[in-house]
Chain A
Amino acid sequence: MKKFDVIIIGGGHNGLVASSYLAKKGKKVLVIEKNEHVGGLAEYANSLSCISPIIKKELNINIPNIKDTDYIISLEDNQNHTILEDKNGKLSFVKTNADEDDQKTFLSIINNYKLFSKTLGSFMHQKPPRVKSGKRSDLFQLMSMGWKIRKLGKKNMRELLRVIGLNIADDLEDNLNNDNLKGLLSHESVLGSNLGPRSPGSILTLLYKQAINDNIFNLKKIEVTNYINQLEDCCKKNTVEIIKSSEVRKIVTKNNSVTGIQLNNNEVIESACVMSNADPKTTYLNLLGAEILDTDFIRRIKNFRNKGNVAKLELVLENEINIKNIDKKMYGKFIYAPNIKYIEHAFNANKYNHYSKNPCLEFYVNDNTLSANIYYVPYLINASHQENEIIEKCVAVLSKFIPDMNIRKQELITPNQMEEKYNISGGHWHHGDLEIDQLLMMRPFYGSSQYSTPVNGLYLCSAGTHPGGGLTGINGLNAAKKIVEDLK
């Protein structure tokens, strides 16, 4: 039987990044993927995320930008849409009914957020420090974090500390008049997290996502399939072995140390080091088993908030899609979140585990296909969604802007289906909410930070670890570095 230095459970993009890096460092690596192809949830992403330049450099990945200019369109019922243009990261208004003052303030708010998220961004690529570890490196890192915030200057530091726990609605209502602009920014802050515009901490979530993606509207378009293929090639080049269509049933341990994994067909593969790309809850409760974990730790696993609430809708229409009142040149990311109240009302339903009757949407069109993220569609425990009803509500919203909606094909993927397909408990994009108590050294939770776990030889590299979701690949890289350091 073959022996491996490291076994990686799950061939999602973080798993692939980690395996290529480890293989490059001379480790024998095996990746086990449940589905027929690798990539995991990345294929689901609407694909406009940003891969960390560090990954590109480390693994020689080359991703061309498709377009220099992107458009963001915030739709309004009265067809007075706001259109923003993003030219290599520079935002400007193309069309809006907001007055000049509002436009200026809007751009300055975004610039401010950009500045703050740049400060946060400097923590993104490192492994987060561990509090009270007693190690000098952790202390140094904590101090440097503090110093970076201090370096913003007195005024900006105060402003950052003021808004960091604030809800986005308050900040926007203080500064802006135009409802559509407020809705647009609120949308970015709540999409993919369990927050409404009035939930405390929604600004932090926005800043954090911006820090991950390097863009507040998350626009840099890349070809996900291309990226995943390149990663897979990179793995193959470095002689990483990948087993597809095979599921791991259990992580085998002895005396609090990993000894290998057991596949669904009962085959056992030995290794003293296993890295899980599954989300933390699945890894601990299903793969490892709660029996060998301390009760306090189990409590923290159970309290990890990972309830997804975004569904994906894929529509194919009979004819080419035309959106009312918008020039075809300017098609880009469409957002329907007309004002704060609308989003907050949609969020209300989510609190009681109902889907929103008036959902918020984000969608892209391409010829006659339309792919949308719908929220809020909560993850349901022991229940299923009325899928047709959800689609109906969405189509009702869409038909306000698309005159002839003759649907040829429709497909809805709810968080529950996402859970099943990709083995993500809760069906959450980021494997867990990006909120203040689940970030940095607290991600996923105390006792499991810095990619390590209470079990010797078991590591985490999924989006449930620092720095969280998105297609950065940093999780995989940092986790792999940690293993290399530990195996020394």
Chain B
Amino acid sequence: MNKEKISYKKPLLETPFHKRTSEHCYANDWYRWAGYKVAKEYSSTELEYTSMRNTAGVIDITPMHKYEIKGKDAKKFINKLITKNITNIQSNQVAYGIWCNEDGMVIDDGTIFCLNENHYRIFCAERNLNWFCDTATGFNVTIEDISSSIAALAFQGPLSCKILNLLKVENIENLKPFHFDNYKLENQNVTISRTGFSGDLGYEIWCDPSQAIDVWDSLFKFNRDYKVLAAGMNSLEMVRIEAGFIQPNADFMSAEQALRPNRMRNPYELGLGWLVNLDKEYFTGKQALIRHKEKGPEKKLVGLDVEGDKPAVGSVLYDNSKKNIAKEIGIVTAAMWSPVLKSNIAIGFVNKEYYKLGSNVYAEIYHPEELDYRKIWAECKVVKKQFFNNPRRNAIPAFI
């Protein structure tokens, strides 16, 4: 029997950058993302994280799902899909949006790139083609999955603009946050958007898969002076927690994938109420969201400033400093020690009595210490999710 035809023996796909990422990937530690393999860690997660916070890091984000929306009703379709109103979006602008199901529960979030009035691209973490196609019923649009025809890199860090500038990318410093444009990068035509997952200055570079290797190489051209590193998924996870960005199926279950109905979350519970525009004539979930807003969230995703230095990974949250009388009031969804903030941070759900900023809750941390757990009862303060938000992120012109 032909071995190639056995599906479980078919290896994960390689991204157009694989030739380079595999060279860099000393740890040979791969992460499975939408049928592709991307590096979890190249050599040291902390080092990669440090490059993103101090110089710049390069992350292969090619596996991200990309959908092309074209047609007369493209804008109408997106306005029905997402909870935000994008009627006033201009060409070359990027919008961040979420989409909900009929019960007002969040399915996924994504960035929407407006190429022109009748042409958009949506980038998101989960597969959504089915949802988009069903939503498009009755609209004059075509929806195409273009995931494999665009290669993408995230180029994040305080020196990202400087390096692009050194690479003679013209006028890159004047690109506004949440905008994109076409540029020439070392003779390659690429699209660069000022978006990202790090809470700092950063760009995402979109190109044809055939240009991938050249684009990758050019970003490392000035490495003698500015140590740019390839960064893996683990370090990306660190910067996104610091920036307070949430991720479907990590911080909340996508409503399309949750099996238990009470695991779905509405935007108000996720702290994304600002993305919901209830004045808009129609979008999926509007009626339910009106009810959710009236009722107010039962629980809410908040930032937590945790006492001590042991990360509260997977901790249960309690209401009382005395362990024996404490009641469960929440759970931590992501936690880490933040090297740049020098603090112990976490993101988690807390019940409605506790989501006011400044409230105190308690986490029971199971800290592994040489084949044993130390149980720590740590006080946590409810704070804003955005732990790290550098003014560089939105400065125009960008920091060179």
Chain A residues within 8 Å of B, Cβ to Cβ: 255-256, 285, 289-292, 294-299, 302, 447, 454
Contact = CB atoms under 8 A, between A and B. Distances in A.
Contacts of A299: 134
Interface of B: 76, 80, 101-103, 131, 134-135, 137-139, 281-282, 284-287
A285 to B, nearest CB: 7
Contact of A290 (B101, B102, B103, B137): B137
Contacts of B135: 295, 298
A285 B131 CA distance: 17
Contacts of B137: 285, 290, 298, 302
Nearest to A289: B138
Contacts of B286: 256
B101 A295 contact: yes
A292 B101 contact: no
Contact of A302 (B76, B134, B281, B284): B134
16 contacts: A256-B287, A289-B138, A290-B137, A290-B138, A291-B139, A291-B282, A292-B282, A294-B101, A294-B284, A295-B101, A295-B284, A296-B102, A296-B284, A298-B134, A302-B134, A447-B102
B281 A255 contact: yes
B285 to A, nearest CB: 7
Given A296-B102, A298-B135, A454-B287, 13 more contacts: A285-B137, A285-B138, A290-B138, A291-B76, A294-B284, A294-B285, A295-B135, A296-B103, A296-B284, A298-B134, A299-B134, A302-B134, A447-B102
B76 A294 contact: no
A306 to B, nearest CB: 16
A299 B130 CA distance: 10
A256 B139 CA distance: 18
A291 B80 CA distance: 7
A172 B158 CA distance: 78
Contacts of B139: 290-291
A290 B137 CA distance: 6
Nearest to A286: B138
Contacts of B80: 291
Given A285-B137, A290-B138, A291-B139, A297 B281 contact: no
Contacts of A297: 102
B291 to A, nearest CB: 13
Nearest to B139: A291
Nearest to A253: B282
B102 A295 contact: yes
B290 to A, nearest CB: 10
Contacts of A296: 101-103, 284
A384 to B, nearest CB: 25
Contacts of A447: 102
Shortest 10 CB-CB distances between A and B: which pairs? A290-B138, A294-B102, A290-B137, A296-B102, A295-B135, A294-B284, A295-B284, A291-B138, A298-B137, A292-B282
Max count, chain B CB within 10 A of own CB: residue among A285, A289, A294, A299: A294
A297 B103 CA distance: 11
Contacts of B285: 294
A299 B131 CA distance: 9
A256 B288 CA distance: 13
A294 B103 CA distance: 9
Contacts of B76: 291
- Which one of A291, A292, A302 has the highest number of Cβ atoms from chain B below 10 Å of its Cβ? A291
Contacts of A290: 137-139
A310 to B, nearest CB: 28
B24 to A, nearest CB: 41
Contacts of B281: 255
Contacts of A291: 76, 80, 138-139, 282
A447 B137 CA distance: 18
Q: Could you say which of A292, A296, A297, A299 has the most chain B C-beta atoms within 10 Å of its C-beta?
A: A296
Nearest to B290: A256
B237 to A, nearest CB: 31
A417 to B, nearest CB: 26
A292 B76 CA distance: 11
Nearest to B79: A291
A197 B137 CA distance: 35
A453 to B, nearest CB: 12
A285 B301 CA distance: 38
Which of B134, B137, B287 has the most A CB atoms < 10 Å from its CB? B137
A305 to B, nearest CB: 17
A291 B73 CA distance: 11
A211 B366 CA distance: 63
Contacts of A294: 101-102, 284-285, 287
Contacts of A289: 138
A142 B126 CA distance: 40
Contacts of B103: 296
Contacts of A292: 282
B131 A295 contact: yes
Contacts of B282: 256, 291-292
A394 to B, nearest CB: 38
Contacts of A298: 134-135, 137
A298 B80 CA distance: 13
Contacts of B101: 294-296
A289 B73 CA distance: 14
A23 to B, nearest CB: 32
B67 to A, nearest CB: 15
B177 to A, nearest CB: 30
Nearest to B99: A295
Nearest to A454: B287
B365 to A, nearest CB: 39
Nearest to B131: A295
A294 B81 CA distance: 9
Contacts of A255: 281
Contacts of A295: 101-102, 131, 134-135, 284
